[in-house]
Amino acid sequence: MSSITEDTTTRWQRHRRRRRSAIAFACVFGWMTSACDRPASDPTSSILLATTTSVRDSGLLDALLPDFTERTGIDVRVIAVGTGAALRMGREGNADVLLTHAPSAEQALIDDGVVRRRTPFMENHFVIAGPEQDPAGIASAVSPAEAIQRIAEANAAWVSRADDSGTHKREKTLMREAGLDLDQPWPSVAQTGSGMGGSLQVAGERRAYILSDIGTFLAFEPRIDLIVLSKPAPSLRNVYAILQLDGERLNRPIDIDAVDAFEQYLVEPGTQKRIGAFGRERFGRALFTPMLGNVGEGGDS
């Protein structure tokens, strides 16, 4: 009887050990399966994007970034500043990737070895907007430079971002083309030192003229009561590019695979199509034009 009990006990103990092993295996397998099935929306890595304010203020980033994170598991932390500030962040190694719109200034970082690759992926254009009454009569101007010259001669109200952004850089270029002294602007110039959206609101309150990218202008048009008064011109072309930074040159660890994935997402046909459609439903027209692999330099912005 005792031997039977011992055998029974031994078999029961072996059974328990096998059962515990099976349970443990099931738990491990279940954990592995859930990890594989875990939605990519749970970020597994992140990159820091320093970007111009126009892509934020227009709403484009809000339309694209959640999809990118969902698909890749890469979280994009955004710092939206003027292009000049974004380029400085890149030069100082305070970002992983840049999204800017100032080709000449971007080229300086390429020449210095700070940027390892520049990829233009979309464009739009700048506009000179102002009150419908158009007190300086710029609607009939044959060029953006002439329009700004008329505004200065009329001492009409003008709002400048004055923040070294891509838009501010283009504004200074147009003023130089108009023969104006950048160190002594006409008395009715107001400087905001802020982003495109905030500057447009100030221009609306002051009934002033302003240079803006068309994307942000259309996003803010319903609340500022200004209209586009300039005509299309080559000097108003506005090219946006992704700049990948050289981590070795900056002595800063950068997740190149994550940055590459972000760049590839922006240039892939599906995303390019979404960029080309962005704004049509709300504004009746696209805010940006996809470049579909066109890597032309474009004008400085």
Q: Which helix (H) or strand (E) holds 145?
A: helix 144-153
Contact by Cβ (8 Å): 32, 1? no
Indicate the SS3 state at residue 33: helix
Backbone angles phi and psi of 90, in degrees to 5: -65, -45
pLDDT one-digit tens code per residue, 36-79: 333 444 556 899 999 998 899 889 999 999 999 999 999 999 99
**Closest to 165 (Cα-Cα) out of 235, 99, 246, 244:** 99
Residue 76: the pLDDT is 97
Residue 224: the pLDDT is 95
Residue 35: the pLDDT is 32
* DSSP conformation class of 290: E
Give CA–CA dist 190/210, Å, rounded. 10
Domains of the chain with bracketed CATH: 45-124+237-290 (3.40.190.10), 126-235 (3.40.190.10)
Q: Which helix (H) or strand (E) holds 169?
A: helix 166-177
Question: What parts of the chain have a pLDDT lower than 70?
Answer: 1-44, 293-301
pLDDT one-digit tens code per residue, 216-250: 999 899 999 999 999 999 999 999 999 999 999 88
Give CA–CA dist 284/218, Å, rounded. 10
Q: Beta partners for 48? A: 77
